[in-house]
Amino acid sequence: MHFVVCAKQIPDPETPPSAFRVDEAKKEVIPPQGIAPVLSQFDGIAAEAALRIKEQTSGTRITVISLGQERARDAIKQVLAMGADEGVLLDDATFQGGDSYTTARTLAAAIRKLGDVDAVFCGRQAADWDMGQVGLGIAELLGWPCAIIASSVQCAEGKLTVKRVLADGFETVRVPLPAVVTVSNELGEPRYPKLQQIMQAARKTVRSMTPAELALDPSTVGAAGARLKLERLFVPVAGGDCEFMPGDTPQAQAVALAKTLRAARIL
Amino acid sequence: MAQDILVVGELADGALSATTVELLGAAVRLAEGGRVSVTLLGSAAPAAAAPAFAAGADRAFVSGDGGYEPFRSDPWVAAVQAAITQAQPAVVLLAQSTVGRDLGPRLAFRLDTAAAMDCVQLAIEGGSFRATRPCFGGNALASYSFATSPAIATARAKSQDALDPPRAGATGETVALPGPAEARTEVTGREQAAATGLRLQDAPVVVSGGRGLGGPEGFRLIEQLAAAIGTHRAAVGSSRAACDMGWYPVSQQVGLTGKVVTPDLYIAVAISGASQHMAGCSGAKAIVAINRDPEANIFKAARYGIVGDYKLVLPPLIEAIRALD
Ligand SMILES: Cc1cc2nc3c(=O)[nH]c(=O)nc-3n(C[C@H](O)[C@H](O)[C@H](O)COP(=O)(O)OP(=O)(O)OC[C@H]3O[C@@H](n4cnc5c(N)ncnc54)[C@H](O)[C@@H]3O)c2cc1C
Ligand SMILES: Nc1ncnc2c1ncn2[C@@H]1O[C@H](COP(=O)(O)O)[C@@H](O)[C@H]1O
């Protein structure tokens, strides 16, 4: 079987809010000083889901694909170190500045080019823009079914069995291959590569694919093809001033809180 | 300028979901006199048409076929697509729910247009539709316009206001939709989260615990605090860090990838206040934070705070609340 993991390199989502800045004129996030970009959390978990199946199904290969600039190579290397077999970097000037539509279109073209893919594993949402569209978009463009927000994924007899997180519980669905699945944190922590695996990953192939190879018209990818136009990007102003409860002991502060909430008619 | 709008309706326990009612209210405002349509699918759909008219719809696309339940993407996409073909709306609105998270992007790609997910503001600016949504875990807000039509947006629960008052007794046109198309997805099992009384989203008070509780035992104190406030008023929530450790059920997670709550009072205990957590509770009328770190981000959003160890603060707080009145 041949699986694809879609992996995106993003600004660290655990950046403290106090260090988070945007350039409103350029409508861009200003990379925080000294905080390196990371593999989007859910994409590491998507890789984990694919690797768990690979361990149980002999002859399974995993290709990791990332659309991004040169630094996206780090996201690819990380998934290769976890145990994926090969990487594809989609780094071309015409791919930049796109939206969910152009990203899904470009990734779907790369998956089509690989030719023999049985399943695609995406994160439930990229932890930068938090959209949650690309997995479903790839599925629609390829005409495949898609199961979103998975907490476990199993593969047998040409089908994926996916446990999905719903608002009030879980649901188990079965979809025929080829299919796309988007993975959530309830699946569990991604494995941590050993030093030896990191060294091996350095020798694994990362190929690139150009718009021409993918037969993509430059007017349909990147900024030129985007359908969502970002008009404004800004940091909302934070709420009120916190009133700290007076008192020298936890006891006194607790009593002050109860009384304050009562006086404010909140309790 | 008037524009036609389609809302993808959802039913909960046989009635229109609260978010559907809110979306219909938003649709009436955004339509500026244009036509508001709604799709209603499932066995309770025919009975939901009248409430949908009262909530703001002029026209309902309805199929009462039970095959639309439980939600599966393929038949729903086909039905909503059929309604879009007839209604030709400028804007399609969905809830950021199990249904909308799936249908929003799929409709966008199938109709060769775009979707903005999890929006908190929907507006008409300069005659065109504008959707504003949190991004970067809630650290920033992004406003989008659309280059293609229809514009598709999913909206966060409680971000929109229902019509007030509703159009009591209003009638509208009903259009029948065909029965469900075949689904590639087969649903083989369902587990309902243990319903522990009050639903998190409905509770006027939510008490949440985080990683700083240090273990599942900490949640016993959180539950006692909720009980002291009243089991009919207070529900217990959790940060993702605490859910990921298995200390509390996933169904109680508050935040960007959990539930969005808008209670009168939100008490955050041993929660640092990461933007992704705040995304789920910043709509609370008042936030109380109990944290031993005075620099914790949660205090920036809190109205009232206690800096201290929860193990020392909660027992006397539970006593003091029991002693009120
Ligand atoms: C894409 C994405 C989506 C996410 N979605 C969510 C989501 O939906 N919900 C969510 O909650 N998180 C979410 N997160 C995770 C989020 O970024 C934080 O990691 C998480 O909220 C931290 O949980 P916490 O505050 O419980 O833990 P921590 O950040 O570890 O904070 C623990 C706090 O407890 C305090 N503390 C420790 N001991 C005590 C004590 N004895 N008494 C009092 N205080 C004490 C500490 O000072 C600290 O402030 C998401 C992250 C990403 C990247
Ligand atoms: N630039 C990208 N390169 C590779 N995969 C991506 C990229 N953008 C999005 N994805 C995949 O699609 C998922 C959902 O992204 P999004 O729809 O942008 O929230 C991510 O978790 C990734 O698996």
SS3 assignment, position A123: strand
Sequence-distant (6+) residues with CB within 8 A of B210 are: B238, B239, B241, B242, B268, B269, B270, B271, B272, B277
- Taking only residues 159 to 188 of chain B, the set having a beta carbon closer than 8 angstroms to any beta carbon of chain A reads 184-188
Question: Relative to the alpha carbon of A5, which ligand is closest?
Answer: 2
As a whole number, the mean pLDDT across chain A is 96
Residues within 6 Å of ligand 2 by CB:
A 6-8, 40, 42-43, 46, 65-68, 100, 103, 107, 122-123, 125-126, 129, 131-135
Residues in B closer than 8 angstroms to A149, CB to CB, are: 101
Q: Pick the range with the lowest mean pLDDT from A196-205, B104-113, B187-196, B248-257.
A: B187-196
Q: Give pLDDT, residue A50.
A: 98
Give residue-wise pLDDT tens across range B117-149.
999 999 999 899 999 999 999 999 999 999 999
Residue A237: phi and psi, rounded to 5, are: -75, 135
Instruction: Dig out the tokens for B84 from the structure.
Output: 């879009």
B194, pLDDT greater than 90: no
As a whole number, the mean pLDDT across chain B is 96
Count how many residues are written for chain B. 325
SS3 assignment, position A60: coil
Q: Give pLDDT, residue B111.
A: 97
Contact criterion met (CB below 8 Å) for B269 and B209: yes
Cα nearest neighbour of B114 on chain A: A227
Q: Pick the range with the lowest mean pLDDT from A50-59, A147-156, B65-74, B197-206.
A: B197-206
- Residues A125-130, mean pLDDT to the nearest whole number: 97
Task: Give me the percent of chain B exceeding a pLDDT of 70.
Answer: 99
Q: Which residue's CA is minimally distant from atom 38 of ligand 1?
A: B212
Q: Which of A77, A122, A124 to mutate to test the pocket of ligand 2 (most atoms within 8 A of CB)?
A: A122
Q: Give pLDDT, residue A18.
A: 86
* CB-CB under 8 Å, A267 with B189: no
- Number of CB atoms found within 10 A of residue A26's CB: 9
Q: Pick the range with the lowest mean pLDDT from A28-37, A115-124, A149-158.
A: A28-37
Q: Give pLDDT, residue B193.
A: 81
pLDDT-derived band of residue A16, with 50, 70 and 90 as boundaries?
confident
Q: Which residue's CA is minimally distant from atom 4 of ligand 2?
A: A66
Give residue-wise pLDDT tens across range A17-34.
889 999 999 999 999 899
Where do the domains of chain B lie, and which CATH numbers do they carry?
Answer: 5-176 (3.40.50.620), 200-324 (3.40.50.1220)
Residues within 6 Å of ligand 1 by CB:
A 13-14, 41, 127; B 137, 210-212, 239-242, 253-258, 270-272, 274, 276-277, 280, 291-293, 296, 309-311
* CB-CB under 8 Å, A245 with B285: no
Q: Give pLDDT, residue B192.
A: 87
Q: Which of B11, B101, B277 to mutate against chain A (most A CBs within 10 Å)?
A: B101
Size of interface A-B (CB pairs under 8 A): 232
**DSSP H/E element including B236:** strand B234-238
Contact criterion met (CB below 8 Å) for A148 and A128: no
Instruction: Dig out the tokens for B114 from the structure.
Output: 């775009």
pLDDT-derived band of residue B198, with 50, 70 and 90 as boundaries?
confident
Residues in A closer than 8 angstroms to B145, CB to CB, are: 228-229, 231
- Residues B203-210, mean pLDDT to the nearest whole number: 98
pLDDT-derived band of residue B317, with 50, 70 and 90 as boundaries?
very high
Min CA distance, A144 vs chain B (Å)? 9
* CB-CB under 8 Å, B250 with A244: no
Question: Relative to the alpha carbon of B101, which ligand is closest?
Answer: 2
Q: Which residue's CA is minimally distant from atom 30 of ligand 1?
A: B211
Instruction: Dig out the tokens for B274 from the structure.
Output: 């990461």
Give residue-wise pLDDT tens across range B14-23.
999 999 999 9
Q: Give pLDDT, residue B1.
A: 81
A238, pLDDT greater than 80: no
Min CA distance, A199 vs chain B (Å)? 30
- Taking only residues 3 to 42 of chain B, the set having a beta carbon closer than 8 angstroms to any beta carbon of chain A reads none
**What is the number of the ligand 2 atom nearest to the C-alpha of A130?**
19
- Number of CB atoms found within 10 A of residue A236's CB: 13
Whole-angstrom distance, CA of residue A260 vs CA of residue A264: 6
For the question of whether the overall pTM of this predicted structure is more than 0.90, the answer is yes
| Higher pLDDT, residue B104 or A168 | B104
Contact criterion met (CB below 8 Å) for B25 and B93: no
Q: State in Å: Cα A2 to ligand 2 middle.
A: 19
Q: State in Å: Cα B223 to ligand 1 middle.
A: 19
**What is the number of the ligand 1 atom nearest to the C-alpha of B258?**
8
* CB-CB under 8 Å, A133 with B257: no
Q: Give pLDDT, residue A237.
A: 82
Residues in B closer than 8 angstroms to A153, CB to CB, are: none
Q: Give pLDDT, residue A239.
A: 65
Q: Which of B143, B146, B324 sits opposite A262 (nearest CB)?
A: B324
A59, pLDDT greater than 80: yes
B196, pLDDT greater than 70: no
Whole-angstrom distance, CA of residue B201 vs CA of residue B157: 9
User: Which range, A29-33, B23-27, B280-284, is most confident?
Assistant: B23-27
**What is the number of the ligand 1 atom nearest to the C-alpha of B257?**
8
Question: Relative to the alpha carbon of B295, which ligand is closest?
Answer: 1
B255 torsion bin: left (phi>0), alpha (psi -120 to 50), beta (else): left
DSSP for A210-260 reads: -TTTTT--GGGSHHHH--EEEEEEEPPPP----EEPP-SSHHHHHHHHHHH
Q: Give pLDDT, residue B227.
A: 96
- Taking only residues 258 to 277 of chain B, the set having a beta carbon closer than 8 angstroms to any beta carbon of chain A reads 259, 264-265, 274-276
Q: Which residue's CA is minimally distant from atom 41 of ligand 1?
A: B309
Residue B2 contacts A, CB cutoff 8 Å: no
Residues in A closer than 8 angstroms to B267, CB to CB, are: none
Q: Which residue's CA is minimally distant from atom 22 of ligand 1?
A: B241
Helix axes A134-142, B98-110, angle to 10 degrees: 50
Task: Provide ipTM, 2 decimals.
Answer: 0.95
Contact criterion met (CB below 8 Å) for B160 and B98: no
Q: Which residue's CA is minimally distant from atom 12 of ligand 2?
A: A134
- Number of CB atoms found within 10 A of residue B65's CB: 17
